Structure 1
Amino acid sequence: MKFFVVLLALAFAAPALGRTMDRCSLAREMSAMGVPRDQLSKWTCIAEHESSFRTGVVGPTNYNGSNDYGIFQINNYYWCQPANGRFSYNECALSCNALLTDDITNSVRCAQKIQRQQGWSAWSTWHFCDGALPSINDCF
């Protein structure tokens, strides 16, 4: 019986593990989604500093009780609906769990919306990425 309970717990935890990308795999996937190539160095820098390129990351609780989700650490108070039903503006009109999957489409589209509305400085780690960045040309 204990084995079954452990197996069941692992089955529920597995989707939250996500995958770990690298700079080039993220740049290639985002490029395939139509993200302009001149933005890819910035996006890969943000993902590196926000989540270490991991898609399944839920950040620690912020001062206001919110959490950040996925490869770009998107906040659940403003951008996605948390599973616990807590209030959210849900500007990206999606579940926060949709930001934790191996398919990064929802994360990319929501991050682009954030960037269009608030600029690059919406990410607290932007100070690491605001300047000369390594080229992503070697990824293609």
Structure 2
Amino acid sequence: MKAFIVLVALALAAPAFGRTMDRCSLAREMSDMGVPRDQLARWTCIADHESNYRTGVVGPENSDGSHDYGIFQINNLYWCQPDTGRFSYNECSLSCNALLTDDITNSVRCAQKILGQQGWSAWATWKYCDGSLPSIDSCF
């Protein structure tokens, strides 16, 4: 009986952990959202290095006490509001938990805003994604 209760609890908690995408599924979803195709290889590289394509990731504490959220590891000091009540500029006007769901729309829109304001170098992993990258054409 205890094993059954544990299994039920894990099954109910599973959605809270987000989903794991792959390069092509991310590229296709972002393309469907209108992200320019010439950016998709860069976005998939960033997602790979930031979260290993996992939507439910909250990164470890940064040196300033902030955390990074979701598939693109978006920072809660500047871009989203954490549940802790900690101060945030919240430039994307959303809860950080909105970046942890299976639906990546909020993550993509916020990441595009970051790109528009700070460029690709806003992501520390950009050094792995600058330059020539494998084509995403085989994903379509």
TM-score relative to the length of structure 2: 0.92
CA offsets, 1:43-97, max 9 Å, x none? 0000000000000000000001000000000000000000111110000000000
Q: Identify the residue that residue 60 of structure 1 maps to in structure 2.
A: 60
* Aligned CA-pair RMSD: 1.9
CA offsets, 1:89-110, max 9 Å, x none? 0000000000000000000000
Distance 2:98 2:132 in 1: 32
Q: Identify the residue that residue 120 of structure 1 maps to in structure 2.
A: 120
Unmatched 5+ residue regions in structure 2? none
- Name the % identity: 81
Q: Identify the residue that residue 98 of structure 1 maps to in structure 2.
A: 98
Distance 1:81 1:12 in 2: 25
Q: Aligned pair count?
A: 140
Distance 1:86 1:5 in 2: 35
| Displacement of 1:11 | 6.9
Letter in 2 for 1:81: Q
Distance 1:67 1:19 in 2: 19
SS class of match (1:19): coil
SS class of match (1:111): helix
**Which structure 1 residue ranges, 4+ long, deviate > 2 Å from structure 2?**
2-16
Distance 2:83 2:58 in 1: 12
